[in-house]
Structure 1
């Protein structure tokens, strides 16, 4: 059974490859985009019950409208790697280590946005840079691993060309993280309760964000998103300023921070928010109450019943750690 492919692509953008667990194209799969978004971004997503972004690369100009470019993909033991050139494990620009992998039974190629893409495949042609090909090949569609979480859709609604599916992660003891993407004007204002990334008994959240600016978080006193609320902007105003505001009947600015470069377009940054006993704190890093850059002590505080994330004029990727 093969664990890699080598190929060449000629096209302006949007070379799409799906690695499927079944020849029928049902069940889980990995979805790879090379040179998407106008040849500026590539990504890997994993779909089990819904498609979940697992890795991004903002490396530009991977594809060429007039010249064939060499690529390879490997998936041995659930270690998904995508690279340029014709040497396996060289020039990696996408990677994902799947703790709950599946055997690849079919590979499907396509394109999008009315493009024409030409492909040349070279079966059994890849020279290997890395040592040892004596690994055990996964023969089953699904691997039974004790710490692989089970997934359950808890809410859905239909919108044009896509659907929002939530993973009930909060009920799984070993759930490690939940990945969400916010896009201005599309699937904006996402409730963390729907995604299992927040529980009403929580007094803090920890998360990572990748994006250029404008990570917006609202702590609501009501699940129906009525006032009052605390509105937090991380990396606003071109990633130059962050702010907490409290809304009761009107918007009241309560704390500003002019710490710059909190967000990064190309890498994930760690943050935490704590609201215990009305003491609102926002900090960077992965240690609660460390590196505080926003704070507000509310003498008339309220319980947090919902958290909403969004952005403005940007696409942001979030990873939550319940």
Structure 2
């Protein structure tokens, strides 16, 4: 079972940050939304790990481990490599780093972010700094939960990973314009099947695109010329089966 050193009713608050400490081993896993340190509105997450190797994190598209998700492995292959992967109907490794990131005796701090179609993993407590894993996913999906676990080894001491998770209050920040990110084009591409936001009648594909552009929760759209139906899609991935969309492209 998961050894919870500081369970939900004993969460520590340090300033505006809530902190949760847990230990996982080879057969353990924990869903962070269940503990109160993660919310689906977050676009980044801070944590510290102590262990000899194999700290696993899964960025889930649903509340539990189903369908597609991003997988982050820190200190894999005997603490010689870290890996970022996408899991759909199979596993696709999208970036790796040949470096020793874990320490058996000392906590090392890391961050993960998933915003503007880019997944990043870095060292330290400043999100955006010292990146060692990165992938641009033009079909990115919203993250509903994070699952953590230790490695797989007959020696449970080697498989054990101590975690400290940090949660800060969520502040909603809309997509900026001007010198920041702005929606400037749509690109027709095959993506995962996303949940539908809503359907409306629009006189043209251009009008459908404008309607989607002004709605932050719209990831793209389908337009049917015969019926003039505009289907706007969310960022919530429904299945890994692909569908052709006009997908929002965010560019500086």
Give the TM-score normalised by structure 1. 0.46
Which residue of structure 1 aligns with residue 249 of structure 2? none
Matched, 1:309 2:153: no
- State the distance in 1 between where 2:143 and 2:13 align: 20
Matched, 1:52 2:14: no
Q: CA deviation at 1:316?
A: 0.7
Give the structure 2 partner of residue 251 of structure 1. Answer: 91
1:167–1:196 contact (8 Å) kept in structure 2: no
Unmatched tracts of structure 2, length 5 or more: 154-158, 168-252
Give the whole-Å Cα distance in 2 for the aligned partners of 1:310 and 1:52: 15
The answer to whether 1:234 aligns with 2:74 is yes
Q: Point out the structure with the larger strand share.
A: 2
Q: Point out which structure has higher relative CO (alpha carbons under 8 A, 6+ apart).
A: 2
Aligned to 1:28: none
> What's the offset of the Cα at 1:278?
2.3
Partner residue of 1:283? 122
TM-score, scaled to structure 2: 0.59
Alignment partner, residue 212 of structure 2: none
Corresponding residue number in structure 2 for 1:196: 36
Give the conservation status (yes or no) of the 8 Å contact 1:168–1:195: no
Asked whether the equivalents of residues 12 and 18 of structure 2 are also in contact (C-alpha less than 8 Å), the reply is no
What are the Cα deviations for residues 253-281 of structure 1, in whole angstroms up to 9, with x where unaligned?
1111112x211000000000000122100
SS at match of 1:267: coil
Unaligned runs of 5+ in 1: 1-49, 54-164
Report the Cα offset of residue 174 of structure 1. 3.7
Are 1:224 and 2:69 matched, yes or no? no
* 8 A Cα contact 1:170 1:197, kept in partner: no
Question: Compared with structure 1, are the counterparts of its residues 267 and 289 closer, same or farther at alpha carbon in structure 2 (3 Å cutoff)?
Answer: same
Instruction: Map 1:1-322 to 2 at 5 A.
Output: 52=5, 165-167=7-9, 174-185=16-27, 188-259=28-99, 261-312=100-151, 313=153, 314-322=159-167
Contact preservation (8 Å) 1:170, 1:198: no
Given that residues 13 and 19 in structure 2 are in contact (C-alpha distance below 8 angstroms), is that contact kept between their aligned partners in structure 1?
no
CA shift for structure 1 position 167 = 4.0
**SS of alignment partner, residue 177 of structure 1:** strand
3-state DSSP of counterpart to 2:5:
strand
Q: CA deviation at 1:249?
A: 1.4
Cα distance in 1 for residues equivalent to 2:17 and 2:126: 19
